Amino acid sequence: MIYFYDGSADAFLTAFLLAYPDEDATLTSGGKQLAIGQETAFVRADPARAEAARKRLEQLDKNCMHDLDMLLRSGDHTRDMVAFNYFKLIATRGCPVRKMLAEDAVIAAEECIRRVEFEIHRFHGFLRFMESASGALYAPVSPDNDICDLLVPHFRARLPRFPFVIHDVRRKKAAVYDGENVFLAPLEHAEVALTADETAWQNLWKKYYKSVNIPSRERLKQMRGYMPVRYWKFMPEKKDG
């Protein structure tokens, strides 16, 4: 049976309870090509059942909900099955499995979580703010994984006096820090009036980037490995080639 759910943690846990005894279960929150005669179920989140499942799983592994959050944020289309197999293993073994690194389900989950966490770390460096006329900072991002709200604590800690908006243009939502509170809001398109000096600072930064390079030691492959091209779009030093 194929279990469709909406990608939220509650719906996942509800679907998990249904699919757990099913030997031939497929969980998916995206589109799926159906074979003829394949049985399907559309699972809607049931908060009460989800809460029960959450409690039980946390008894087995008190940190497993963090893993679930990371897995469901992954942009990889296999994430639903990776999460399902990982939680199935926790349920059958009845204990934390994260260090059982020779198990296929754990290897897949560990890699998936690591990719999400690594992208968060990358964006701590690669994110670029622009200063608006009002003094607030605006950063458009287009990450592989759904992480824009997880970037907030880092920047809030270092720029406590600057309100800022981190805009995930792919998922059309934004994480906002207004100088006091943090919230997540849908955001299709943002018109930002920039401060008068913004272009001048960006030009200085481009000049710096060009000057600090040692042309006789060109290693483009290494540069692209560390800083993949898909992240260049919003970086002033890279976006004009």
Partner 1 sequence: MISEEKLKILTESAKYDVSCSSSGSGRKNGGGMGNGYFSGCCHSFTPDGRCISLLKILLSNDCVFNCKYCMSRSDCDVPRATATPEEICELVVDFYKRNYIEGLFLSSAVHRSPDYAMEQLLLTVKKLRTEYGFYGYIHLKGIPHADERIVHEAALYADRMSYNIELPTEKSLKLLAPQKSRESVLLPMKQLQRERDLFRAEKRKGRFLPAGQTTQLIVGASPERDGQILRLAQGLYRGAGLKRVYFSSYVPVVHDALLPDRPAGELREHRLYQADWLLRFYGFSAEEIVENDGDLPLDLDPKCAWALRNMQFFPVEVNSAPAETLLRVPGIGTRSAQKILDARKYTRLGFDALKKMRVVLKRARHFITANGKFYGSGDETAVRGLLAAGEGQPVQLSLFENEAARSALTGEL
Given the rule CB under 8 A, which residues bind partner 1?
A: 99-104, 107, 121, 124-131, 137, 139, 155, 157-162, 197, 200-201, 203-205, 207-209, 211-223, 226-227, 235, 237-238
In whole angstroms, the minimum distance from the beta carbon of 221 to partner 1 comes to 8
How distant, in Å, are the alpha carbons of 201, 209, 213 from that of 217? Answer: 27, 15, 9
**Nearest distance, CB of residue 10 and partner 1, angstroms:** 31
Decide whether 42 or 201 has the Cβ nearer to partner 1: 201
Q: Closer to partner 1 by CB, 54 or 238: give it.
A: 238
The CA-CA-CA angle for residues 165, 171, 175, to 5°, reads 25
CB nearer to partner 1: pick between 32 and 156 = 156
Can you list the pairs that 127-131 forms with residues at least 24 positions away whose Cβ atoms lie under 8 Å?
127/151, 127/155, 127/166, 127/234, 128/234, 128/235, 128/236, 129/164, 130/192, 130/194, 130/198, 131/194, 131/195, 131/197, 131/198, 131/201
Q: Which is nearer to partner 1, 41 or 227 (CB)?
A: 227
| Cβ 103 to partner 1 shortest distance, Å | 8
Write down the least CB distance from residue 102 to partner 1, Å: 4
Element (DSSP H or E) covering residue 9: helix 9-19
